[in-house]
Amino acid sequence: MLAGMRSRSRNIGATPSKNTSEERRDVFLEGFGLAPGSQDACLLFNILHCEEPLQVLAEAARVVRPAGSVHIIHWRYDSGTPRGPGMDIRPRPEQIVEWGVKAGLTAGPVLDLAPWHYGIRFYAG
């Protein structure tokens, strides 16, 4: 995945360390490696079916500045979607909203991102 990101970044003219950074890390053990309140936004796309989604959302809330945002995209809770995690671990939008609130975020509306996804924008602090 890192090699693919490097290649795509070069293809669009992004400069490592200026426009992009890459790290391989266990975020459950090490977090995101960013200072508290240092980011305008955090993007979490198709990842909250992980083992500890509340921990990921709490880390996102930690690194986003006051009035920053955390953006979620996930597969619909619908077995008819052509890809995505199994239904036994796929979160429903209401679950993600509940986790975000527990992480200290304020949820915006759930957005329909047809045909296969939904989105939620959370606001920090």
Determine whether domain 31-123 maps to CATH 3.40.50.720. Answer: no
Q: Which of 49, 4, 51 is nearest to 24 (CA)?
A: 4
Delimiting residues of CATH 3.40.50.150 domain(s) in the chain: 31-123
Q: Which of 80, 90, 64, 72 is nearest to 115 (CA)?
A: 80
- One digit per residue, pLDDT tens: the chain, 125 residues? 788 888 888 888 887 767 677 788 899 999 999 999 999 999 999 999 999 999 999 999 999 999 999 999 999 999 999 999 999 999 999 999 999 999 999 999 999 999 999 999 999 98
pTM of the model: 0.86
Helix/strand/coil (H/E/C) assignment for every residue in 77-116: CCCCCCCCCCCCCCCCHHHHHHHHHHCCCEEEEEEEECCC
Q: In 3-state terms, what secondary structure has residue 7? A: helix
- Give dist(CA 23, CA 36) in Å, integer: 18
- Give dist(CA 39, CA 34) in Å, integer: 8
